[in-house]
Structure 1
Amino acid sequence: MTGLVIVGAGGFARETAQAVADAGEFKLLGHLDDNPALHGTEVDGVPVLGGCDLVHELTHARVVICVGNPRDYAARARLVRRFGLSDDRYATVVHPTASVSETSAVGPGSVLLAHCVLTAAVRVGAHVAVMPHVVLTHDDVVEDFATITSGVRLGGGVRLRQGAYVGSGALVREGTTVGAWALVGMGSAVLGDVPPGEVWAGSPARRLRAADAPALDELATPTVGGPLT
């Protein structure tokens, strides 16, 4: 069984560790985290082995990056750039209760947690976080580094551009686009396109402000696995 390390030791990382255990595809070796106070401790019984740059020493292990929150949802992109690893070092973690159709595809480094559904011809890029009970319907495209939190529903033909963040319980109308590094607030109903780098919320969703955007070099991070069509 191939070994796996999870970068991060927070909530998303802990949830991913449980998905790894439930799926049984990888042997979880431990967490990596840059907080020295965590080194040598355990998180839910899983050891924190040391700092994140140990990925370069643990060459036999696959890697999945499980960091980020609404205040810093570019964190995965920064770490991917920092590590400079090839795509084949990254694992794809899919909880056994997730339903992924044969016509759908999920990129390296992405995580699908419990009870996600990808119905038909869904394309999920690299390093995408898909939380429990998310429904992605026909022809949706989710680009690299996007975050889709619990209970989100995307109508058919939706496109989430690179690094977009969609809050819990949001509904996105079919055929719409959420721009790169935009943030959609929890419980929102998105009825039209959301421009890049903006925060939208409400029902129907409206612009609140500019996002606390990541640095321009992060916005320009190239698609990891090539363009999604």
Structure 2
Amino acid sequence: MSGLLLVGASGLAREATTVAVWLHHQGPVSIVDDDPATWGTLHGLTPVLGSVDLVTDVVDHDVVLTLGKGGHRHRVALRLEMLGMDPGRYTSLIHPRVVLPGSCSIGTGSIALDGVVLTADVEVGRHVVLMPQVTLTHGCRVHDFATICAGVSLGGDVEIGEGAYVGMNASVRQGVHVGAGATVGMGAVVLHDVPAGETWVGVPARPVRTGVTA
């Protein structure tokens, strides 16, 4: 491929651009975004070409989804599939200072920023975002489209479900399962399984109750 196309003019896109520079990615880096106000502008130092639909026209570029929320990345991936984009165009951006032993793997389309550590037998799925200084210890599994924010620490054999979001500096005890689409708040200490779709916050983390009246 002769360039790199980032989907989503976000803060994550700026960080992804930095990783691409570290990796000496061949060719230009560009962005597409559905907000017309961004078209023809620079996002940081990176040009925004136009809407997401342009991905199928710029066929000689690798593609990375740089939308911050996993649900948004998932929806755009489905949209690009319907538009006929070859999934072989997806690439991963892994910062050169990421610790990635041979027993660990990071899936296609994922982003791992500076200081991420995978220790042993860790599996990270597709289109996952690992923000700076994340630690994934032995046997962890992070499913597709999950987002693990800066400073998160996962104990051994933790499982993070598809599209789940773990907030900055949260800690998850060994063996805990965070369900698909669940949200863990910033600084939370998770000692028990988090059911799919729920939001847990606090120390120790507890579910946020909604719809409760006095």
Category of TM-score, reference length = shorter chain: over 0.9
Q: How many residues align structurally?
A: 207
Quote the residue 2:132 is aligned against: 132
Higher Rg: 2
Q: Does the residue aligned with 1:47 lie in a helix, a strand or coil?
A: strand
**1:140-151 aligned within 5 A:** 140-151=140-151
Which letter maps to 2:44? D
Matched, 1:82 2:79: yes
Cα offsets for 1:175-220 (capped at 9, x unmatched): 110000000000000001000000001111000036xxxxxxxxxx
Quote the residue 2:209 is aligned against: 209
- Whole-Å separation in 2 of the counterparts to 1:2 and 1:174: 43
- Whole-Å separation in 1 of the counterparts to 2:28 and 2:115: 21
* Residues 21 and 28 in structure 1, CA contact (< 8 A), matched pair in contact too: no
- Superposition deviation, residue 82 in structure 1: 0.5
- Whole-Å separation in 1 of the counterparts to 2:179 and 2:26: 34
Question: Deviation above 4 Å: which 4+ runs of structure 1?
Answer: none
- Whole-Å separation in 1 of the counterparts to 2:65 and 2:162: 16
- Whole-Å separation in 2 of the counterparts to 1:27 and 1:21: 10
Quote the residue 1:97 is aligned against: 97
* Residues 117 and 136 in structure 2, CA contact (< 8 A), matched pair in contact too: yes
More displaced 10-residue stretch of structure 1: 164-173 or 18-27: 18-27
- Superposition deviation, residue 27 in structure 1: 3.0
Q: Does the residue aligned with 1:68 lie in a helix, a strand or coil?
A: coil
- Superposition deviation, residue 43 in structure 1: 1.4
- Whole-Å separation in 2 of the counterparts to 1:198 and 1:8: 26
Matched, 1:11 2:11: yes
* Residues 121 and 140 in structure 2, CA contact (< 8 A), matched pair in contact too: yes
Q: Does the residue aligned with 1:14 lie in a helix, a strand or coil?
A: helix
More displaced 10-residue stretch of structure 1: 18-27 or 122-131: 18-27
After superposition, the CA RMSD in angstroms is 1.3
**1:76-225 aligned within 5 A:** 76-84=73-81, 85-209=85-209
Which letter maps to 2:53? D
- Whole-Å separation in 2 of the counterparts to 1:64 and 1:45: 17
- Whole-Å separation in 2 of the counterparts to 1:19 and 1:101: 19
